[in-house]
Homo-oligomer: A and B are copies of this chain.
């Protein structure tokens, strides 16, 4: 290459690169280089680096010095290799220009084919191929594509001309247009360019090339690409490479063609070549969908030798890359050319099957198999899904904003959703977009559908936060709130009509669709067993009911890391007793109510400990503020006013007024930071004492029946040594009493949730009186950020994501810089005084891969997450162990 410019090397011939150079050459460029060096039939070419693109972006749209020179040198090398010359009248070199970033990215510039053609070289191409029509057709396509992509002229203007001519001659296909007609069309095309740009269509090939390169660079910052990067969290400074490659033609007659294929089935993972092809066509014909391509298997009959060669290359590439590949090829007059190889996108099911199969085939190790599957993607397999056997009447498609499927009656406002939802009806909330006013509706609905807004819209963020299916930005919907209906084309959906949504695909389906509960398939089970061998972190589940516990166990949870007891208080048969306890005016009254709750709670604990027999169950004592169990003061006030003005029963009024007074007295300005958690245990020890007794009595009962209950008692929300010590003493006292009464000696660890910044900061004190810690990162995130989750996720987090102040919703992905720093401090300080401290995490982060990796890095003992996330956590924990092996 040239050494005239002593500067940076911006251009690499394919043979100069390799698969390891994706940062510099982009995915496509690196793949072409690797195939070239493997000796595969790749049309020669070169790649302009991502650094050149970044230079261009950073320097006011100027090419880096020496770039054009280096391109000219690379072209000379190409010319030598193929024996053609760029711009040559007799045997012109034609090239394709394609963008190629490190990661595949829709929204970037499309391909320009046949670059190098002009009024003169088209003659040369005609002569060289002895096919004037072919040459003219290539030129026609080139002008159209170049004008669209590089010059920014609407493609319809050209299509109209083409259509008009076809209609005039009653042709069905482009190839029916002869040379004469094509010449006329080309003239008209050039006229359009002149009219639209004020200049002639560029005739000079080098000018064409440099304009195309410029267009690729600029497409890096087009709005679609920027949005895509934001949603997919791709850094803005990666830049794109440009691949310039000698043209080969799939449209040179019936022994030419073009196609795409996967080395295995990307939907199922089955080990068969999977793809399609079209004879006598260029790439854009496949995309245009005018002719239906054939399945790849058919090529075997049509061109057995080519098929055999392709199959061999496909095997070779899979073996070489040790991964499923996504291939593009062209056949020019019977000769096969490879145009692309890259790691294949695949469904979660396919990823799992391919990985497990490849281990069995000896292609990869178990560890590699575990690394191959994206845990986030695994989530697809762990939500309720549409029954694949069901016939779907898909009426529209929006953004897949929150995974899982749901069916229910359509409702168009939140109040209605809440009303119906509370009466037990399943509903789908449909809005143009949601606002904080609609939260209660989202809570009550099975899923959410919106016609506006993207992946970070209010609806999307809120639904993901709640783990509900959501399809958003479904622009085909026309919602009419007044008439309480929506229309999609001429289909009408009225309030109450059944619809279904699939938040994993974005589909909107008319009618109810049977849903299936997720299950671990054979291969996934195998893969997760391998993950279990590798991972260091334990995986438990958050489960409040025996049903949850059973599911968690099925999904491989090694225990219950968080069993909340407040839901047990909310049960319909208990709430009145709980309220009596709260409203008690005397200790006697209160104790009587607690006495009634004791056997009920004991039953709860009995069931869940039995379900998890032999595995640890961490039971958290009552956490929420007591007023959560009382009616809302506003509703009560309105009701009292109504009763008074309508001559209601004075006794009833008096009773409600008493209730209101108590509710007011317990009302809190910031319940999240209020009289809750172990503060209840400090101020009303009788409640905790009842709960501990219920747990311990359940344990004694189970032991006597021959079970192996392993409870841990967890104190919520501690903030200091003295507080934890007091709670520990209270707990030990009750355990001791039951031991005495029953004559059974027990060993029940007592620990605490660490969910306040102060607890982390003084963990070297608290650690002395705790047997275990469980980081409650939901609340810890709330206090560390000063974000009330109930308020923030609806009100401002979407805007914070939009404005890139937050890279992630910190309630979804653990914030390592802030919250993580506190957690790390808590772990280190705690272990410094109590090396045997067992430490886990039980916030929702316990099921999120990046957060799990962090937990591994700071040496936690386990993560605990919702039952459905247990497989995700097992896999993510294994990947973290691999990644941080050193």
Could you tell me which A residues sit within 8 Å of B by CB distance?
435-437, 633-634, 637-638, 641-642, 645-646, 661, 664-665, 668-675, 677, 679, 682-683, 717, 719-720, 722-723, 726, 755-758, 761-762, 765, 779, 782-788, 790-792, 795-796, 799-800, 803-806, 815, 817-819, 821-822
Which residue of B755, B757, B796, B815 is within 8 Å of A783 (Cβ)?
B757
Q: How far is the CB of A659 from chain B (nearest CB, A)?
A: 14
25 A-B pairs within 8 Å (CB atoms) are namely A637-B637, A642-B645, A668-B788, A672-B673, A673-B673, A673-B783, A673-B787, A673-B788, A673-B791, A673-B792, A682-B799, A719-B785, A719-B818, A722-B804, A722-B805, A756-B784, A757-B783, A757-B786, A757-B818, A758-B815, A758-B817, A761-B821, A761-B822, A762-B818, A783-B786
> What separation, in Å, do the CA atoms of A668 and B786 have in the docked complex?
13
Q: From A632, which residue of chain B is reached at the shortest CB distance?
A: B634
Q: From A723, which residue of chain B is reached at the shortest CB distance?
A: B805
Q: Take A633-B634, A756-B784, A786-B719 as given contacts and tell me if A675 and B805 are in contact as well, using a CB distance cutoff of 8 Å.
A: no
Interchain CB contact under 8 A, B791 and A683: no
Q: Take A435-B665, A791-B670 as given contacts and tell me if A726 and B785 are in contact as well, using a CB distance cutoff of 8 Å.
A: no
> What separation, in Å, do the CA atoms of A790 and B671 have in the docked complex?
10
Q: Take A437-B665, A783-B784, A786-B783 as given contacts and tell me if A800 and B673 are in contact as well, using a CB distance cutoff of 8 Å.
A: no
Q: Which B residues are CB-close (under 8 A) to A782?
A: 673
Q: How far is the CB of A881 from chain B (nearest CB, A)?
A: 27
Q: How far is the CB of A244 from chain B (nearest CB, A)?
A: 38
Q: How far is the CB of A754 from chain B (nearest CB, A)?
A: 11
Interchain CB contact under 8 A, B757 and A674: no
> What separation, in Å, do the CA atoms of A665 and B795 have in the docked complex?
9
Interchain CB contact under 8 A, B822 and A757: yes
Lowest 7 A-B CB distances belong to which pairs? A670-B788, A673-B788, A758-B818, A757-B757, A674-B791, A669-B790, A634-B634
Q: Which B residues are CB-close (under 8 A) to A762?
A: 817-818
Which residue of B665, B799, B803, B819 is within 8 Å of A436 (Cβ)?
B665
Q: Which B residues are CB-close (under 8 A) to A645?
A: 641-642, 645-646
Q: Which B residues are CB-close (under 8 A) to A664?
A: 437
Q: Which B residues are CB-close (under 8 A) to A791?
A: 668-671, 673-675
> What separation, in Å, do the CA atoms of A661 and B817 have in the docked complex?
38
Interchain CB contact under 8 A, B786 and A756: yes
Interchain CB contact under 8 A, A818 and B761: yes
Interchain CB contact under 8 A, B804 and A785: no
Q: Which B residues are CB-close (under 8 A) to A726?
A: 803, 805
Which of A435, A674, A786 has the largest count of B CB atoms less than 10 A from its CB? A786
Interchain CB contact under 8 A, B673 and A796: no
Main secondary structure of the interface of A (DSSP, over half): helix
> What separation, in Å, do the CA atoms of A642 and B638 have in the docked complex?
8
Q: Which B residues are CB-close (under 8 A) to A682?
A: 796, 799-800, 803, 805
Q: Which B residues are CB-close (under 8 A) to A822?
A: 757, 761
Q: Which B residues are CB-close (under 8 A) to A673?
A: 670, 672-673, 782-783, 786-788, 791-792
5 additional contacts (CB under 8 A) given A634-B634, A719-B785, A762-B818: A671-B791, A674-B792, A677-B786, A717-B786, A720-B805
Q: Which B residues are CB-close (under 8 A) to A668?
A: 788, 790-791, 795
> What separation, in Å, do the CA atoms of A672 and B672 have in the docked complex?
9
Interchain CB contact under 8 A, A669 and B669: no
Q: How far is the CB of A765 from chain B (nearest CB, A)?
A: 8
> What separation, in Å, do the CA atoms of A821 and B717 have in the docked complex?
19
Q: Take A670-B670, A796-B675 as given contacts and tell me if A761 and B784 are in contact as well, using a CB distance cutoff of 8 Å.
A: yes
Q: From A661, which residue of chain B is reached at the shortest CB distance?
A: B437
> What separation, in Å, do the CA atoms of A603 and B668 have in the docked complex?
37
Q: Which B residues are CB-close (under 8 A) to A670?
A: 670-673, 788, 790-791
Q: How far is the CB of A643 from chain B (nearest CB, A)?
A: 10
> What separation, in Å, do the CA atoms of A774 and B783 have in the docked complex?
19
Q: From A787, which residue of chain B is reached at the shortest CB distance?
A: B673
Q: Which B residues are CB-close (under 8 A) to A806?
A: 720, 722
> What separation, in Å, do the CA atoms of A805 and B664 have in the docked complex?
27
> What separation, in Å, do the CA atoms of A638 and B803 have in the docked complex?
40
Q: Which B residues are CB-close (under 8 A) to A815?
A: 758
Q: How far is the CB of A720 from chain B (nearest CB, A)?
A: 6
Which of A671, A677, A717, A755 has the largest count of B CB atoms less than 10 A from its CB? A671
> What separation, in Å, do the CA atoms of A723 and B720 have in the docked complex?
32
Q: How far is the CB of A750 from chain B (nearest CB, A)?
A: 17
Q: From A764, which residue of chain B is reached at the shortest CB distance?
A: B817
Interchain CB contact under 8 A, B757 and A796: no
Q: From A819, which residue of chain B is reached at the shortest CB distance?
A: B758
> What separation, in Å, do the CA atoms of A785 and B760 have in the docked complex?
11
Q: From A804, which residue of chain B is reached at the shortest CB distance?
A: B722
Q: How far is the CB of A814 from chain B (nearest CB, A)?
A: 13
Q: How far is the CB of A661 from chain B (nearest CB, A)?
A: 7
Q: Take A646-B645, A791-B668, A805-B722 as given contacts and tell me if A758 and B785 are in contact as well, using a CB distance cutoff of 8 Å.
A: yes
Q: Which B residues are CB-close (under 8 A) to A679?
A: 796
> What separation, in Å, do the CA atoms of A817 and B723 have in the docked complex?
15
Which residue of B675, B756, B796, B819 is within 8 Å of A795 (Cβ)?
B675
> What separation, in Å, do the CA atoms of A665 and B672 have in the docked complex?
19
Q: How far is the CB of A733 from chain B (nearest CB, A)?
A: 15
> What separation, in Å, do the CA atoms of A668 and B796 have in the docked complex?
12
Q: Which B residues are CB-close (under 8 A) to A788?
A: 668-674
Q: Which B residues are CB-close (under 8 A) to A717?
A: 786
Q: From A795, which residue of chain B is reached at the shortest CB distance?
A: B675
Q: From A717, which residue of chain B is reached at the shortest CB distance?
A: B786
Which of A642, A673, A782 has the largest count of B CB atoms less than 10 A from its CB? A673
Q: From A675, which residue of chain B is reached at the shortest CB distance?
A: B795
Q: Which B residues are CB-close (under 8 A) to A786?
A: 672-673, 677, 717, 719, 755-758, 779, 783
Q: From A725, which residue of chain B is reached at the shortest CB distance?
A: B805
Q: Which B residues are CB-close (under 8 A) to A817?
A: 758, 761-762, 765
Q: Which B residues are CB-close (under 8 A) to A761?
A: 784, 817-818, 821-822
Q: How far is the CB of A832 from chain B (nearest CB, A)?
A: 15
> What separation, in Å, do the CA atoms of A638 and B784 have in the docked complex?
37
Q: How far is the CB of A117 from chain B (nearest CB, A)?
A: 48
Q: How far is the CB of A682 from chain B (nearest CB, A)?
A: 6
Q: How far is the CB of A783 from chain B (nearest CB, A)?
A: 5
> What separation, in Å, do the CA atoms of A799 and B761 have in the docked complex?
23
Q: From A646, which residue of chain B is reached at the shortest CB distance?
A: B645
Which of A674, A755, A799 has the largest count of B CB atoms less than 10 A from its CB? A674
Q: Which B residues are CB-close (under 8 A) to A779?
A: 786
Q: Which B residues are CB-close (under 8 A) to A665?
A: 435-437
> What separation, in Å, do the CA atoms of A791 and B627 have in the docked complex?
13
Q: How far is the CB of A409 from chain B (nearest CB, A)?
A: 25
Which residue of B642, B672, B818 is within 8 Å of A669 (Cβ)?
B672
> What separation, in Å, do the CA atoms of A821 and B682 have in the docked complex?
25
Q: Which B residues are CB-close (under 8 A) to A758?
A: 784-786, 815, 817-819
Q: Which B residues are CB-close (under 8 A) to A757?
A: 757, 783-784, 786, 818, 822
Q: From A783, which residue of chain B is reached at the shortest CB distance?
A: B783
> What separation, in Å, do the CA atoms of A782 and B668 have in the docked complex?
14
Q: Which B residues are CB-close (under 8 A) to A672?
A: 669-670, 672-673, 786, 788
> What separation, in Å, do the CA atoms of A641 and B723 have in the docked complex?
46
Which of A646, A779, A790 has the largest count of B CB atoms less than 10 A from its CB? A790
> What separation, in Å, do the CA atoms of A264 and B633 have in the docked complex?
61
> What separation, in Å, do the CA atoms of A673 and B788 have in the docked complex?
5
Q: Which B residues are CB-close (under 8 A) to A756?
A: 784-786
Q: Which B residues are CB-close (under 8 A) to A803?
A: 682, 726
> What separation, in Å, do the CA atoms of A755 and B670 have in the docked complex?
17
Q: How far is the CB of A810 from chain B (nearest CB, A)?
A: 9
Q: How far is the CB of A583 from chain B (nearest CB, A)?
A: 14
> What separation, in Å, do the CA atoms of A530 and B804 have in the docked complex?
52
Which of A661, A817, A819 has the largest count of B CB atoms less than 10 A from its CB? A817
> What separation, in Å, do the CA atoms of A831 and B444 have in the docked complex?
49
Q: How far is the CB of A554 from chain B (nearest CB, A)?
A: 35
Q: How far is the CB of A250 from chain B (nearest CB, A)?
A: 48
